[in-house]
Amino acid sequence: MPQRCTASCGFVFALFRRVNTWVGISGWLYPPWRGTFYREGLPGRRWLEYASRAFNFMQSLPRSSREAERIARRHDFRLKRGECIRAVKDVPYRHAFEVRHPSYFTEEFYDILREHDCAFVIADTAGKFPYAEELTAEFVYVRLHGSKVLYASGYTDHELSSWAKRLRAWRDDRLHPRDLYVYFDNTDNKSFAPLDAARLAKKLARPRTVAKRRVVSSERA
């Protein structure tokens, strides 16, 4: 009952707050994906439509010029001729920083991100750049560029299971659940990105709960 709630309410809220997971790709217009991710015969003009249905993160993209105009109104400061579009105020944003120079991998930088609720991008770069798993915001942002060859190697089932285990731990933490944003950028070869994204999304899917039905016997002694 709400009137009896004490300081423990924050804990109760954390237990039941609904968190979300977005898994997707960093682009869609890649000719090598024809015949693997995109079916043969599907014209290129429909690839974005197809990809948007395959991955839920694409739902945020505009679907028409009218939708694009509405989105542009929230980004007036980015437009050279922004005075032609009425800006919308008080639009929430989430910011994430993907850094690669070693000087950023310090507690001082992590503390700055936490102070402003900005995410540190956890980036798998096949060992080319420094790596850290720092949770600095109310959400987790992960970019998977390839585990063995930067931008060009796919992920094995074992590697995806390992990522799924970590991602579930961050998402389903009882005290501090976080939304997940995961993007695959291993787009330079074949169809690794969309196929790996689909496999990871399947591993992260929550099991559907099936309501138990009570069976009442009509037999009489």
Sketch the domain layout of the chain as residue ranges.
14-42+93-204
The tens digit of pLDDT for each residue in 64-117 reads 566 666 666 665 555 555 445 544 555 566 788 899 988 889 998 999 899 888
Quick one: CA torsion of 79, 80, 81, 85, rounded to 10 degrees?
Answer: 10
pLDDT at res. 13? 30
| Residue 58: φ, ψ to 5° | -70, -10
**Secondary structure tally for the chain: helices H, strands E:** 6, 6
Name the CATH topology of 14-42+93-204.
TIM Barrel (3.20.20)
Q: Is the pLDDT of residue 1 over 80?
A: no
| Residue 168: φ, ψ to 5° | -65, -40
DSSP bridge pairs for 24: 183
**C-alpha torsion sign, points 11, 15, 17, 20:** positive
DSSP 99: -
Task: Give the contacts of 201 (CB within 8 A, at least 6 positions apart).
Answer: 21, 23, 55
pLDDT at res. 170? 96
Q: Indicate yes or no: pTM above 0.85.
A: no
